[in-house]
């Protein structure tokens, strides 16, 4: 009966070491991390056993790399990784010790999408705001083909295999996103992973998006926006979300994560410290949106959540335009909030080679279009949307010119469109304007877009004249008093 290999343990001033047979005339010495003679003997026996099992399938050099890592392992995790690497070589799953000691592409990608890699290397791994798309791409398109490969084994040919397997019906941007996801994983494997020396996928390999991939997009007309906001059959929280997106221009993901602490209702200001571009921004809310949010906060008082909307806006496109029946999944038709509100313009629902149906993101595009058409500057728009360059804003310039040429004007104030607010305002003692609104503060003479003396034509049989009308919250005499005082010195 063959004896179990134990290794030859030696104790010296620097600790322990063991001589292990790798071949007929090769018995190198390996440093052992061990506390006490018994632990040293156990570690040496492990190394000798691994060497015996690896000798038939690996060279002495490969065995030495594995045993060196196993001998110096300072914690159970490092020792387990070295042992697993040896088992991979023994089973023939990895050709070299270097690749066997590196994780598989699937395991390393999961470490990235789960946020574990960022925890280990916070200075070098950017936080992934929403990893769901990358998780789906890895699960459905990359891992089934090459996920089992260890990182050093992945080559450009493997990347080509992934791209060739993609359905031809996929949009060019989806194909490019798949390539970006794979290249990003391998880039992180170079650093901070340090599992491979260089990225096997060159930057020039990335698929280009043809100009023909740019599809025509739709946006809501003012009357359609009013119909949607005033339709009581549509969920109120969704109507408020639609209205805020079209009037403030933030991303749907930013609105979904918006909390009450991010909104200053007293001054009508919102701040987004955390967003997609990691560029904190703040701006003055539209007065009507401020009034709606103040009313909404009072209505939702006592809830457990600190979020403003309390909706998963990733379902926004389905809510907005509905979903047709899918025979594969058995999903029934959903007419969507637009059709529920009586909005049936075909342009909003068409999906062709040159046009895509309206998305939740297109409400943000509506905001840019409306405000450019009504004279707002690019910088004013960029302060709210977070766009980084004029080139991005210029994409909406043509739509804005069309809007201005059709003389469509601005969107109606959101607080006047919500029937729930109108009903409460009509009740005695109820007001939709928060007590801290600028128009209720003593001494404030300017309210954005609504306050201040307004010029209006007189009505009746008298000749047409121009008269002053007071703003909401102030009588005509209160506005005239400071004007008379200034005129008389």
What lies within 8 Å, CB to CB, of 171 at 6+ separation is 213
Quick check: helix, strand or coil at residue 55?
coil
CA distance 150 to 108: 9
The two tokens of residue 413 are 């104030």
What's the structural domain count of the chain? 4
pTM of the predicted model, to two decimals? Answer: 0.58
Verify that 256 and 373 share a domain, yes or no: yes
- The first and second tokens of residue 223, run together, are 């009357």
Instruction: Report yes or no on 411 lying in a domain.
Output: no
The CATH number of whichever domain residue 341 belongs to comes to 1.10.443.10
Residue numbers of the domain that contains 70: 8-101
Single residue among 184, 213, 242 that ends a domain in this structure: 213
| Residues 404/396, Cβ–Cβ less than 8 Å | no
Q: Output helix, strand, coil percentages for the chain, rounded to the nearest 5.
A: 50, 10, 40
Residue 138, C-beta contacts closer than 8 angstroms, at least 6 positions apart: 106, 109, 110, 113, 147, 181, 185
Per-residue exposure over 325-344, b if at least 16 CB sit within 10 Å of its own CB, e if not: eeeeeeeeeeebbbebbebe
Residue whose structure tokens are 């398109």: 141
In a domain, 261, yes or no: yes
* Pair 160, 182 in one domain: yes
Is 416 part of a structural domain of the chain? no
Does 97 reside within a domain?
Answer: yes
Looking at the fold, whether 238 and 293 belong to one and the same domain comes out as yes
**Residue entry with tokens 């933030």:** 250
Residue-level pLDDT at 461 = 37
Work out the widest C-alpha separation in the chain, in whole angstroms: 123
Residue in this structure with the two tokens 């650093």, named with its chain if needed: 191
In a domain, 417, yes or no: no
The first and second tokens of residue 380, run together, are 């004013």
Q: Return per-residue pLDDT of the chain as tens, 489 residues.
A: 455 566 678 888 888 999 998 888 888 999 999 888 899 999 999 999 999 999 998 888 888 888 988 898 888 888 888 888 888 888 887 777 777 788 889 999 999 999 999 999 999 998 876 788 899 999 999 999 999 988 988 999 999 999 999 998 888 888 999 999 999 999 999 999 888 889 999 999 998 877 655 678 888 999 999 999 999 999 999 999 999 999 999 989 899 989 999 999 999 999 988 766 667 889 999 999 999 999 999 988 766 678 998 888 888 888 898 876 455 555 556 789 999 999 999 889 888 877 888 988 889 889 999 999 999 998 899 888 888 777 778 778 888 888 988 999 999 999 999 999 988 777 665 554 444 444 333 333 333 333 333 334 444 433 443 333 444 444 444 544 554 455 454
Q: Are both 59 and 159 inside the same structural domain?
A: no
Q: Which two tokens stand for residue 244?
A: 């805020």
Both 275 and 388 in a single domain?
Answer: yes
Domain end marker among 179, 213, 247: 213
Whats the size of the chain, residue-wise? 489
pLDDT tens-digit readout, 178-190: 999 999 999 999 9
Rounded Cα–Cα distance for residues 384 and 73 (Å): 53
Cα 218 to Cα 360: distance, rounded to the nearest angstrom: 11
- In-domain check, residue 432: no
Residues 287 and 243 in one domain: yes
Task: Please indicate, yes or no, whether residues 116 and 31 belong to a single structural domain of this protein.
Answer: no
Are 375 and 399 within one domain? yes
Asked if residue 246 and residue 348 are part of one domain, the reply reads: yes
Q: What is the CATH number of the domain that holds 179?
A: 1.10.150.130
pLDDT number for residue 132:
85
**% residues pLDDT > 70 (the chain):** 81
Q: Are residues 459 and 398 located together in one domain of the fold?
A: no
- State the pLDDT at residue 258: 92
Q: What are the φ/ψ torsions at residue 9 (nearest 5 degrees)?
A: -85, 135
469 contacts 456 by C-beta, under 8 angstroms = yes
Q: Which of these three, 101, 134, 162, is where a domain ends?
A: 101
Question: What's residue 355's pLDDT?
Answer: 84
Q: Do 229 and 362 have their domain in common? A: yes
- Tell me the C-alpha to C-alpha distance, in Å, between residue 90 and each of 60, 81, 95: 13, 14, 10
139 to 146, 172, 331: CA distances (angstroms): 11, 19, 23
Residue 71 lies in a domain: yes
Residues ≥6 apart with Cβ < 8 Å to 94: 85, 88, 100, 150, 153
Measured CA to CA, the distance from residue 40 to residue 50 in angstroms comes to 16
Looking at residue 411, the DSSP 8-state letter turns out to be P
Same domain, residue pair 174 and 235 = no
Asked whether residue 230 is domain-assigned, the answer is yes
């Amino acid at each position: 009966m063959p004896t179990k290999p134990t290794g030859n343990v030696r104790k010296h001033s620097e600790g322990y070491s063991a001589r292990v047979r790798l071949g007929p005339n090769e018995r190198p010495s390996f440093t052992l991390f061990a506390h006490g003679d018994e632990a040293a003997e156990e570690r040496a026996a492990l190394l000798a056993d691994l060497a015996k099992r690896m000798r038939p399938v690996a060279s002495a050099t490969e065995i030495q790399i594995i045993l060196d890592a196993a001998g110096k392992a300072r914690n159970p995790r490092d020792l387990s990784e070295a042992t697993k690497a040896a088992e991979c070589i023994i089973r023939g799953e990895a050709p070299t010790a270097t690749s066997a000691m590196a994780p598989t592409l699937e395991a390393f990608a999961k470490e990235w999408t789960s946020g574990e890699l960022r925890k280990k290397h916070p200075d070098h791994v950017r936080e992934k705001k929403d990893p769901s798309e990358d998780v789906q791409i890895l699960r459905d398109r990359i891992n089934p083909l090459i996920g089992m490969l260890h990182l050093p084994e992945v080559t450009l040919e493997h990347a080509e295999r992934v791209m060739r397997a993609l359905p031809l019906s996929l949009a060019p941007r989806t194909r490019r996103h798949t390539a970006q996801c794979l290249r990003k994983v391998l880039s992180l494997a170079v650093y901070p992973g340090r599992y491979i020396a260089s990225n096997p996928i060159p930057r020039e390999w990335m698929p280009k998006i043809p100009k023909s991939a740019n599809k025509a997009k739709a946006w809501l007309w003012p009357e359609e926006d009013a119909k949607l906001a005033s339709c009581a059959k549509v969920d109120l929280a969704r109507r408020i979300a639609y209205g805020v997106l079209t009037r403030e221009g933030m991303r749907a993901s930013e609105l979904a994560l918006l909390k009450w602490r991010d909104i200053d209702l007293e001054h009508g200001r919102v701040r987004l410290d955390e967003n997609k571009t990691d560029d904190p921004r703040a701006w003055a809310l539209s007065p009507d949106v401020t009034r709606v949010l103040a009313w909404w906060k009072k209505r939702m008082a006592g809830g457990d959540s600190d979020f403003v909307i309390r909706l998963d806006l990733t379902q926004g496109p389905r809510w907005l335009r509905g979903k047709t029946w899918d025979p594969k999944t058995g999903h029934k038709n959903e007419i969507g909030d637009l059709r529920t509100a009586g909005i049936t313009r075909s342009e909003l629902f068409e999906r062709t080679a040159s046009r895509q149906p309206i998305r939740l993101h297109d409400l943000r595009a509506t905001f840019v279009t409306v405000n450019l058409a009504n004279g707002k500057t690019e910088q004013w728009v960029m302060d709210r949307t977070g766009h980084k360059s004029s080139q991005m804003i210029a994409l909406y310039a043509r739509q804005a010119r069309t809007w201005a040429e059709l003389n469509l004007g601005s969107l109606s104030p959101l607080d006047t469109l919500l029937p729930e607010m109108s009903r409460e305002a009509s009740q005695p003692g109820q007001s939709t304007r928060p007590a801290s609104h600028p128009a209720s503060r003593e001494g404030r003479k300017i309210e954005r877009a609504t306050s201040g003396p307004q010029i209006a034509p007189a009505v009746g049989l008298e000749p047409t004249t121009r008269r002053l009308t007071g703003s909401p919250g102030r009588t005509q005499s209160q506005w005239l008093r400071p004007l008379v005082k200034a005129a008389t010195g």
